[in-house]
Chain A
């Protein structure tokens, strides 16, 4: 019997129509636990650098966490791992909801999908019965309709569906995989495009099997603690709940495409009150992922009788298009969810297009006769559709700002704000050194979950006492020493905090827990020691903190080695130029932020490399890889000449 893990995985070859069930290699799961750990190992072994994102040899890997589906609250998450068409790097997207628990209940920790189907199909996983079914009738259908039709034809209300919309089918590089009607998506870096390239429209899952706990009394005792603490966390957010916070993001952000000189427009300034009033008026139900006490999702019933979910990034469209109206933002989000588009990248791409038009780099003739102006909702609605359907000018934007700028030319590149070819979300136009270092180094690139949680004690520039009083977020007490009065100016400790925070987020991810309340800003319900004990009790393994850190480091080193083997270099570990060059907004100045300092940033980057055991070029050293049991990775990098100068 397997404890914690389901014990099996699935291999699906869509080219051959082959389905294979495999027993897990126990050693592999002990070394990487689950999620992106397992995913990155499989990608390293089986997707060599020459394999393009849109190749039948690229893999789409669904990987649940070791605690996914166990009784621990928020144990609902799974990871989707793949080589990204947007960045050309190894990537993953973490998604909550119900699908990952269902997959584990069906008996599988991991599903590896290879090949390409010759016509649209969907995968039906029903315990031991696996079927590749025709999906030609679902072609062009939006994500919500797709899930509705599949649930209907399988005649099972308890089926969980993840699927792509038209954007994924059209291989739009910024396409998402959606989990319709749950509010969850795997969106960043284009997983939907990889799924679309495989002609895989959807995955439907139903499982009825047990997930076993090895040391159940100890495990449940800790679950109770997590339950109580996360419950208190939730109550502390009453009455407005989490969703209010989700929409409060433009406090420190730049507007438009961040290129404008002017400070925030006055109508944005009472956003907080406006948001709250809006929520009170339209909120009909708060919802959440499987077994979650916090319920961060919300249904809003807007006047035109349509339901919308506000997302963390809901305001991205308001900022990008300079339309301070939540209804507008939510309509855009809803369109993105239906088409299966990443909200952040879509909003940034549209902001970029408007900016280019305003600067005279794009003319009306080049954009299908449109006038791309700020403050015009129709511009956004039309461009979303054009991007999803790759229509006209939308075909250029569909590949994200990095590639679009290279097609457009005429200096368009100067108007992109990227980290490793991925456009960053407006909430990271924040002049916080900690956020910048995490943005520059972490393996998820621009990820609001990773960046706002793992790292940025300085993000809101609070005084030292406020952090200590707030339980010092996800950090253990010995990290209090990094909270000096001048941390914003000196950058001291930022590398250490980034390193520690990143490790905690990796462990959270391998466990399949939600990133939010294992450290999302100050909302931290549990710290790393609790997660580590939970993993030990669930599996029966004995993992202490040192071992857990080494598992996290192994995952990180492997992903890094793979990205280095692709194209990543030290020069790419940098926050967008604008954060070093642009004067702070008025609000940012009030909070004490200044432009980032290149020298201090570089000093912290080098410190981070040291902590990770990477050399001065950001390549994991031979010793680090050997210590982590990644000898084969060391050998591969050696053969490719990465250590020849040492």
Chain B
């Protein structure tokens, strides 16, 4: 079975959020008729002062929040686990339709497109597309 993968190289991310923009435009009801990064299925987590730039792709929806929370420390700065979490969950607004929070957003790898749009529009090469075989 072919697994579609987006490989994220956080060191190359420039934080421009073109990925968010094109994702929202591509997934508009009428394709490309809107731009709205808050409706994207990808979110660039940025902490410029500490040089942390991490594109996070929207993962599965969950209706239960985590019971335990981890922290992640990068360059001596501690981040809540939610910063890099892919889930659309009750504790935050991320990866939900802004006007209809009951609708969760999830990356669909842009369906039949040859490349996911975020990969195509990532001029810096932070996002690359990889297919790998996995036994089903």
Q: Which of B21, B31, B51 contacts A284 (CB 8 A)?
A: B51
A200-259 CB contacts (< 8 Å) to partner B:
207-213, 216-217, 219-220, 227, 231, 234
Tell me if B16 and A290 are in contact (CB < 8 A).
Answer: yes
Q: Mark A279-299, 1 if CB is under 8 A from B, else 0.
A: 000001111111111010001
A214 closest partner in B (C-beta): B33
- Closest CB of chain A to B118's CB: distance in Å? 12
CB closest chain-B residue, reference A3: B33
Assembly CA distance A290 to B30 (angstroms):
23
**A71-B22, A227-B121 given as contacts; is B49 within 8 A of A216 (CB)?**
no
Q: Is A70 in contact with chain B by the CB < 8 A criterion? A: yes
Cβ of B17 to closest chain A Cβ, rounded Å: 6
Q: How far is the CB of B34 from chain A (nearest CB, A)?
A: 4
Does any Cβ of A come within 8 Å of B116's Cβ?
A: no
Docked-complex contact A213 and B34, CB < 8 angstroms: yes
Shortest Cβ distance from B124 into A: residue: A295
**Residue on B with the closest CB to A298?**
B14
Contacts of A231 in B (CB 8 A): 123
Within 8 Å CB of B38, what residues of A?
105, 158, 207-208
Q: How many A-B residue pairs lie within 8 Å, measured between CB atoms? A: 93
Asked if B16 and A289 sit within 8 Å, CB to CB, the answer is yes
What is the interface residue range for chain B against chain A? Answer: 20 to 34
B36 and A288 contacting across the interface, CB-CB below 8 Å: no
Asked if A166 is at the interface of the complex by the 8 Å CB criterion, the answer is no
User: CA of A286 to CA of B48 in the docked complex: distance in angstroms?
Assistant: 11
Is B87 in contact with chain A by the CB < 8 A criterion? no
- A285 to B28: give the CA distance in the assembly, Å: 32
Decide if A71 touches B49 in the complex (CB within 8 Å): no
Tell me whether A144 and B49 are in contact (CB under 8 A).
Answer: yes
B123–A293 CB distance below 8 A: yes
- The contact of B35 among A70, A182, A284, A295, by CB within 8 Å, is A70
Shortest Cβ distance from residue B123 to the other chain A in the assembled complex, whole angstroms:
4
Complex: how many Å from CA A208 to CA B105? 14
Select from chain B the residue with minimum beta-carbon distance to A207: B38
Measured CB to CB, the nearest residue on chain B to A209 is B36
| Shortest distance from the beta carbon of A289 to any chain B beta carbon, whole Å | 7
**B15 at interface (Cβ–Cβ under 8 A)?**
yes
- Closest chain A CB from B112 CB (angstroms): 17
Can you give 10 contacting A-B residue pairs, CB < 8 Å?
A71-B25, A157-B46, A181-B48, A181-B49, A207-B38, A210-B39, A211-B36, A213-B35, A291-B21, A293-B16
Knowing that A213-B35, A291-B17, A295-B16 touch, tell me 14 more A-B residue pairs with CB under 8 angstroms: A71-B35, A105-B37, A105-B38, A208-B38, A210-B35, A210-B39, A213-B32, A227-B123, A284-B51, A286-B14, A287-B48, A288-B16, A291-B21, A299-B48
Residues of B that sit less than 8 Å from A by CB: 11, 14-18, 21-22, 25, 28, 30-39, 45-46, 48-49, 51, 53, 98-99, 121, 123-124
